[in-house]
Structure 1
Amino acid sequence: MSLSTSTPPRLPCGAEFAQLADQLWHGVAAGDEYAATEIVLRALDDGIEPESVLLDVIAAVQGKVGEEWAANRISVAQEHAATSINERAVAALALHPAARRTPTLGRITVACVDGEWHALPARMVAEVLKLRGWQVDYLGAQVPAPHLISHLHTTKADAVALSSSIATRLPTAHAAITACQAVGVPVLVGGAAFGPDGRYARLLGAEAWAPDARTAADRLAGGPLPRPQVDHQQMDDLPHLADQEYTMVTRNSDNLVRTVFHALEDAFPAMRAYDDMQRERTAEDLAHIVEFLATALYLGDEKLFTWFITWTAQILVARGVPAQSLPPALNLFARELKDFPRAARILQRGVEALTTAPRTTTGKPA
């Protein structure tokens, strides 16, 4: 059946979207990929616009998956399983006759930053762009910059859509952005890593930023991205890196974590009663603190670290772990980094954020 003779897709009301999302959530939460896929395919058979199924149903359910994990109502394993089912639903949608489009526009490469394993947001962008008429090369998760550049040389893409959900991947994203621009390809970035208002996209020199897949497609439909300006280096973008604090903290991260982990037993005596699993999780949390500290140093943005540390406190409280262990840990890191003024200041801001964050009725920071 050709698109020219098919029934035009319909756009259901918000209540119908909510009902479909609720049905899909129950299938996803039950681990039933067959039921989840059937819900998506039935919606398409009923004539609902594929882009709406993608973004107003599947993406909405994936957002709930993240919320349920953060609230400790599902485990990490359940979160991974749910995400996998949503990925299967997207794949089923992409193969449905209602989603088939003949490319009439240019060519876009969609990829995740190296080290970024949250591929579903990028996949959503890729599928929406296909529906809008673009030829899309979807490269998936964790794409090393050299591989990305090699692909661009081969395909002559009009633009790259680069995705990252984890802020600690921003230094790597900066390198990828710069590499794409060096071969003349403009970059549109998106994902939670770049900030809710795209502040880090601008800081890192991307030609465009979009908060979601629909906005990304609209931006690309509005005309070609500006050609890259390649007469600068990363140090010109981020002159504060000249103090080498980012480099030194990154190089010594393992030693920092090890030193603070052992010192924390004295600074936070409750840790002495931790079992092996709790001690392992504490070491992981300390490693994340160093990663976000390094990223805040790279970006020159204290707010990134204070956001992360208050979010971490909420996650710990939701899991029944005392967040009181965080200020002693930050103070110990500050002691080890006393010769690094920017790092010490960022850590102090973290302590202040923990002690001044408003509390909800559940005891969690608001």
Structure 2
Amino acid sequence: MTAVLDPSVETAYPRYLHCLDEADENGAIDVALSLLDSGVPAERVLLSLVAPAQAQVGEWWQRNEWSVAQEHAATHVSERVIAAVATAVRARPTRERVVVACLDGEWHALPARLVAEVLRLDGWDVTFLGASVPSVHLVSYLHRHDPRAVLLACALPMRLPHAFRAIEACRRTDVPVLVGGRGFGSDGRWATKLGVAFARDARAASSVLATPAFDAAPAPVSLDDTEYAGLVATRVELIDLALERLDLKRYSPAQVDATVADLGYIVDSLAAAVYVDDASLFGEFVGWLLEVLDSRGVPLHTVGLTFDVMADRLRDFPRAHRFLRGAAPRPAA
């Protein structure tokens, strides 16, 4: 993905990326504040500089051009830049309170932080609760403060079953729920499946919050999760079966750990696809996984072997079996 840059920040973008590459916090802050001083609105700095740069960082990690350590360092710098921009502007609230939080187990907090700060710039009285907020604590907070709405972020589709439980818990507080993030699909199709309002970006979120119809009760959702529950119950067995099939003798301990983690992601993504009854969820995950593994020199035929083992065990799970067969990587011609 190539970032589409606003002309007002285009010349500053390479300098900002260089600062992220060098983990130069002060330099990155200087770039952002210089744009503010030149008259570029704070919202544009956040959405047209910080956001696309962070997306680029993710792509570099995905292609194995950056290590996890480099990605973490750059993310920290971006967080400091957001804080510096927010401090420089000091927007005063003119609208109601809203709460922004990441789901329990969701550690990708920077996109949600960007949304929170853009909403603040738009006049909303924002409380940002950060990454991985346990549902019980989130619900308690909503009961205590009764905000206009709660915005829940989810970056990974494999977290959708957990997201739905959190959404339902929040709804029982009578606080309207708005969701966002790649975990719900770029077009929000899985948010629609779960019967919850979706905003594709910060500007859209502010617009939805300002709409009186947003208060309307959501349509009831009925999800048949019998197959999903059975699949979750077999998670450890599926991982063990795949490990038995793979030749791990030449793997280092770190590679074994990474393999176990990848197998868990495969099962969790398959379970989420079954949960929302959408094969495209698993297909998109597999496409991403193959690109990541290929960039790291992992033989892709191992994914096919893994799918064969899991599909054989899941013959009595019609959707899971079908999704595995449909997404299995094909041998090169």
Q: Is contact 1:126–1:136 with CA below 8 Å preserved after alignment?
A: yes
Match of 2:76 among 77, 84, 88: 84
Name the CA distance, whole Å, in 2 between partners of 1:106 and 1:276: 52
Give the equivalent residue in structure 1 for 2:63: 71
CA contact (8 A) 2:157 2:182 kept: yes
Question: Are 2:149 and 2:175, in contact at CA under 8 Å, matched by a contact in 1?
Answer: yes
Aligned-residue offset at 1:278: 2.3
Q: Pick the aligned partner of 2:237 from 234, 238, 255.
A: 255
Q: Secondary structure at the match of 1:174?
A: helix
- Residue correspondences, number: 329
Q: TM-score, normalised by structure 1?
A: 0.86
C-alpha distance in structure 2 between counterparts of 1:228 and 1:356, whole Å: 49
1:315-355 deviation digits (Å, cap 9, x = unpaired): 1111121111111100001122222222211111121xx22
Aligned to 1:55: 47
> Residue 134 of structure 1 aligns to which amino acid in structure 2?
W
Shift of 1:16: 3.5
> Taking structure 2 as the reference length, what is the TM-score of the superposition?
0.94
Aligned partner letter, 1:174: F
Give the whole-Å Cα distance in 2 for the aligned partners of 1:192 and 1:14.
22
Where does residue 253 of structure 2 map in the other structure? 276
1:211 counterpart = 2:200: yes
Given candidates 314, 319, 326, the residue that maps to 1:342 is 319
- CA deviation after TM superposition for structure 1 residue 56, in Å: 0.5
Q: Does residue 1:18 correspond to 2:3, yes or no?
A: no
Per-residue CA deviations over 1:70-94 (Å, capped at 9, x if unaligned) read 1111011111111111001101111
Q: Which residue of 2 aligns with 1:156?
A: 146
Distance 2:113 2:170 in 1: 20
- Taking only the aligned residue pairs, the percentage that are identical comes to 42
What is the distance in 1 between the residues matched to 2:37 and 2:107?
Answer: 32
Q: Alpha-carbon deviation of 1:245?
A: 1.9
Structure-1 residue corresponding to 2:32: 40
Counterparts in 2 of 1:346 and 1:83: CA distance versus 1, 3 Å? same
- Write the distance in 1 (CA, Å) between the matches of 2:92 and 2:6: 29
Shift of 1:218: 2.6
Query: What corresponds to 1:322 in structure 2?
Result: 299
Shift of 1:229: 4.2
- Tell me how far apart the structure 1 counterparts of residues 67 and 75 of structure 2 sit (CA, whole Å): 12
Shift of 1:14: 3.4
Aligned mates of 2:36, 2:282 — CA distance in 1:
43
User: Which amino acid counterpart does residue 263 of structure 1 have in structure 2?
Assistant: R
**Unmatched runs of 5 consecutive residues or more in structure 2:** none
**Structure 1 partner of 2:277:** 300
Amino acid at match of 1:63: A
Shift of the 224–92 alpha-carbon distance from structure 1 to 2, 3 Å rule, reads farther
Unaligned ranges ≥5, structure 1? 1-12, 266-270, 360-366
1:181, 1:229 within 8 Å by CA — same for their partners in 2? no
Give the residue type in structure 2 aligned to 1:211: R
Aligned twin of 2:93 = 103
Asked whether the equivalents of residues 8 and 40 of structure 2 are also in contact (C-alpha less than 8 Å), the reply is no
Indicate the residue corresponding to 2:171 in structure 1: 181
SS in 2 for 1:74: coil
CA 1:161–1:180: 2 relative to 1, 3 Å: same
* 1:184/1:227 contact within 8 Å kept: no
Query: Distance between the aligned counterparts of 1:14 and 1:186, measured in 2?
Result: 33
How far has the Cα of 1:311 moved from its partner? 1.4
Deviations 1:284-319 (A, max 9, x none): 211111111111111111111111112111111111
Give the Å deviation of 1:283: 1.7
For residues 131-158 of structure 1, give each alpha carbon's deviation from its aligned partner in whole angstroms, at most 9, with x where no partner exists.
Answer: 0111111111111111111111111101
- Shift in Å at residue 45 of structure 1? 2.1
Q: How well do the aligned residues superpose, as a CA RMSD in angstroms?
A: 1.8
Q: Distance in 1 between matches of 2:53 and 2:110?
A: 12
Q: Distance in 1 between matches of 2:93 and 2:137?
A: 25
What are the superposed Cα offsets for residues 98-132 of structure 1, whole Å, 9 maximum, x if unpaired?
x2222111111101111100001110111011101
Q: How does 1:129-208 map to 2 (within 5 A)?
A: 129-206=119-196, 208=197
The one-letter amino acid paired with 2:203 is: R
